[in-house]
Amino acid sequence: MKSFRVTVFLLFILLTVLPAANAQDYVPTPVEISTKLITIDKKTYYEHLVLEKQTLYSICKAYGAEIEEVTNLNLSRVANGLKAGTILFIPYKDTDNATAAPKTGTAEKQTAVEKAEEPAAKDVEQSAKQNVDKDAGQNTEAADQASSGDGQYINHRVKWYDSLLMLSLKYKVSQEDIIALNNLESKTLVVGQYLKIPVGGTYVADSDNSIIETAEDGEGNAVADNVSIISAVQDEEPEEETETHYLVPFSGTARVALILPIAASSNSPSGNFLDFYAGVLMALNEIKEAGINVNLKVIDMADFESFDDLATASHLDAFDFIIGHFSTDNVDVAADYCDKHRIPLFSPMDQKIERATYRHPYLVDVPLSAATQAMRLVESIRYDAFTDNVIVLCENTEELGQFHKDIISSLEYLQIPYSIARSGIGRNGSANVNGLLESNKHNHIIITSERESLASDAVRNTGLLARGGKNNITGYMSGKVRRFESIEQESFQSMNAHCSLGYFVDYKDENVRNYVRRYRALYNSDPSPYAFQGYDIAMYAVNALVKYGSFMINGISTYPYSGLQLNFRFDRRTPGGGMFNEGARNIIFENGGITLTR
């Protein structure tokens, strides 16, 4: 009870004193009105890029917009909190006199739109029937069209990108009609819920000022979206056409380019990249069995002198995404191309391209850096000042390794206090640690040496301190240390050792076992780490495409995924930069084995 009262008192001090003390240090980022507009069926919206330290309140205040309206319009983007790099759509102040939507460009495109209008509405209705029957297992006619008192309605399953505004525009009905028919108490929609949409509207957008893109979403529904982005306000030169882009759901067929330096025509093709390719084929075969069409083009980079030659010959702009292994020498050229054509580029292996990812918004960096792994390891401590004691056990030398530096940086970034103990070789190597242990706390000992002779002694001595339950100790170390053959597994088990890894396969998992059985049957060998990697990346990328369509590059930031070998948790670290994977695999030595924590 006493400790509880102390905790409450300290929290009260922190909540009341610290904000006042630090108020002068916090400088919010000014909000500048965007010059980019998006038009949706003659209504115009700002396209605002969120910067660090900007809030929804400050943004709405700058634009003179209502928070509720902006939230409903951007529900999927703000559901998990506002993040730097997010694009928000904000209602244009004067929509009656707003800049007109861009012209379609050519008479040929105009004619194509006019011809598409009539059948598109029919396709929407028919596809909606098929989709409801598939998802709900109900009679198609009864499920899709039923009496609503005043007429007929269509069942619509809410997708991640749906809002009442978007549905009203899509189906040409008012938001109020949708609310009334479904007895909604809030404008907030839930992904997966079914809404009754009144029949009577025209499901294809008007064609007088913009182009209609008819496609299918990830569940087989034909849709016709009238969404175009204006690159800038056209007050100065209204006659000049601006570039138009389309925001469309998944088309129904995943168009995938796989670019690898296999060197298949040489005397020594790359076995690692062939294994990666085999894993990709395994994933795409499963995806096809699930009913999703896939068009795969495999390109051997060794057959081309440069990426420019490869892109010209292969028509890469026709693909939904690219999985390609590029080095620091050629990644900028490839990423520039993908940025220009808005094609996500998944880089599967090379950690060294991390710097390039800060420069390219469509570059997706899959492998975890050593610094990220160190940060995830420190986060797993879940430090509490009242119950935890952190000790960094390092080498007794002036030159300390990069893992030690990354651990110290992570501790300081997370504001976790720590003590440092120097370790030598031999039974007395743990003497410095013993003096820092606290009997009434959970002692977290992070071993930062990655040299086998010193690390093995540090692990052995820490394991001895942990045995018998006299000291409450948990050990932490790099993934490199766990592979040292000179360390007995008993030492890891004694301290419930934790490691944070870029990749790890749990062979106890039934999904892993099934994959291994299928791989053996198909290739007559066991899958290598590269085969697991190719499988995971292809499976994740196609599922993200199905889920988000052309929003894929931004959607993956809200799409965590656990594969057979990799975890995916992408985020942008800077506005205008690419996607970094932050999803490490944490393992614990316990109960005589290794447990993967997800």
pLDDT tens for residues 543-587? Answer: 999 999 888 998 999 999 999 999 999 999 888 899 999 999 999
Instruction: Decide if pLDDT at 218 tops 90.
Output: no
Instruction: Decide if pLDDT at 25 tops 60.
Output: no
Q: How many whole angstroms separate alpha carbon 487 and alpha carbon 474?
A: 17
Q: Which stretches does DSSP call E strand in 301-355?
A: 321-324, 345-347
Give the total residue count for the chain: 598
Residue type at 204 in one-letter notation: V
- Percent of the chain's residues with pLDDT above 90: 34
Q: Per residue in 299-339, pLDDT tens?
A: 998 888 888 888 888 888 889 999 999 888 889 999 999 99
Handedness of CA 577, 24, 68, 93 (dihedral sign): negative
Structure tokens at 75: 């529900």
Instruction: Decide if pLDDT at 349 tops 60.
Output: yes
Instruction: Decide if pLDDT at 419 tops 70.
Output: yes
Q: How many whole angstroms separate alpha carbon 191 and alpha carbon 162?
A: 8
Q: What is the mean pLDDT of the chain?
A: 76
The confidence band for 105, taking pLDDT boundaries of 50, 70 and 90, is very low
Instruction: Decide if pLDDT at 263 tops 80.
Output: yes
The DSSP code sequence of 100-163 is PPPP-SSHHHHHHHHHHHHHHHHHHHHHHHHHHHHHH-S-HHHHHEEE-SSSEEEEEEPPTT--
Instruction: Decide if pLDDT at 464 tops 90.
Output: no
The confidence band for 400, taking pLDDT boundaries of 50, 70 and 90, is confident
Q: Per residue in 127-185, pLDDT tens?
A: 333 433 333 333 333 333 444 444 577 888 776 556 776 677 677 788 888 888 888 88
Q: How many whole angstroms separate alpha carbon 465 and alpha carbon 468?
A: 8
Q: What is the DSSP letter of 566?
A: -
Instruction: Decide if pLDDT at 106 tops 60.
Output: no
Residue type at 96 in one-letter notation: D
Q: How many whole angstroms separate alpha carbon 508 and alpha carbon 384?
A: 33
- pTM of the shown model: 0.60
| The predicted structure's pLDDT at residue 574 | 85
CB-CB neighbours of 194 under 10 Å:
14
Helix (H) or strand (E) holding 389: strand 388-395
The confidence band for 473, taking pLDDT boundaries of 50, 70 and 90, is very high
Instruction: Decide if pLDDT at 409 tops 80.
Output: yes
CB-CB neighbours of 124 under 10 Å:
21
Contact present, 423 and 462 (Cβ < 8 Å): no
| The predicted structure's pLDDT at residue 432 | 75
The confidence band for 8, taking pLDDT boundaries of 50, 70 and 90, is very low
Say how many Å lie between the first and final Cα of the chain, rounded: 34
Phi and psi torsions of 501, nearest 5° = -125, 155
All structural domains of the chain, each given as residue ranges with its CATH number in brackets, are 37-91 (3.10.350.10), 107-225 (3.10.350.10), 253-368+508-584 (3.40.50.2300), 372-501 (3.40.50.2300)
